[in-house]
């Protein structure tokens, strides 16, 4: 299955236009994915101009994703503010 980092998505529906199984569609203001339809071909990952799609081969359910993906935010991102960094985070004194 794939995950889309929604805060970086520019909502161009490019992923949806190349998906051979219609496993991604634009719904409301977000891209919606159907993991059960996904065949792990990676077309969407390669075409995404914003580079926000990642693929997890063989994973069929959100429960099996790495913990960093499940929380909606990824480890080690936004280190400039120190807010998202999980290891070695500098606590304000």
Partner 1 sequence: MKSDYDAIVIGAGPAGSTFARLAASGGMEVLVVDKRKELGVPVRCGEALGLGEPAKQDLELPKRCYSTIVQGVKVVGPNGKAITWADEGTKGYILERKFFDKWLAELAVDKGASVRTYTRATDILRDAEGRPNGVRISHGGREPHDIHAPLIVSAEGMESLMARQMGFKTVHSLYDVDTCYEYEMKPYDHENMIELYFGNKIAKRGYVWIFPKADRKANVGIGIGGNLTNGKKLGGMDGAAPKPLLDDFIARNKQLKTASTLLDFGGVISVGAPINGFVKDNCMVIGTAAKQVDPIHGGGIGMAMESGFMAADAALAAHKRKDYSKDSLLAYEKAWMAGAGKTMGHRLVLRKAMERLSDDDLNHIFNIVTQSDLPRIMDGDFPPVVARILAGRPQLIGVLSALLPSNR
Binding site for partner 1 (CB under 8 A): 10-14, 16-20, 22, 25-29, 42-43, 45-51, 53-57
What are the residues facing 2 on neighbouring strands? 55
Which residue, 28 or 92, is less far from partner 1 as judged by CB? 28
Query: Token digits for 27?
Result: 């719904």
Which residue, 7 or 93, is less far from partner 1 as judged by CB? 7
- Which strand (E) or helix (H) includes residue 55? strand 53-55
Which residue, 21 or 83, is less far from partner 1 as judged by CB? 21
Measuring CA to CA, which residue among 63, 20, 10 is closest to residue 42? Answer: 20
């Amino acid at each position: 299955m794939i995950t889309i980092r929604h805060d970086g998505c520019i909502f161009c529906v490019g992923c949806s236009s190349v998906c051979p199984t219609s496993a991604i569609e634009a719904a409301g203001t977000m891209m919606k994915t159907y993991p059960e339809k996904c065949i792990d071909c990676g077309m969407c990952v390669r075409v995404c101009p914003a580079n926000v799609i990642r693929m997890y081969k063989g994973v069929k359910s959100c429960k099996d994703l790495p913990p960093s993906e499940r929380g909606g935010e990824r480890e080690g991102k936004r280190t400039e503010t120190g807010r998202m960094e999980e290891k070695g985070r500098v606590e304000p004194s």
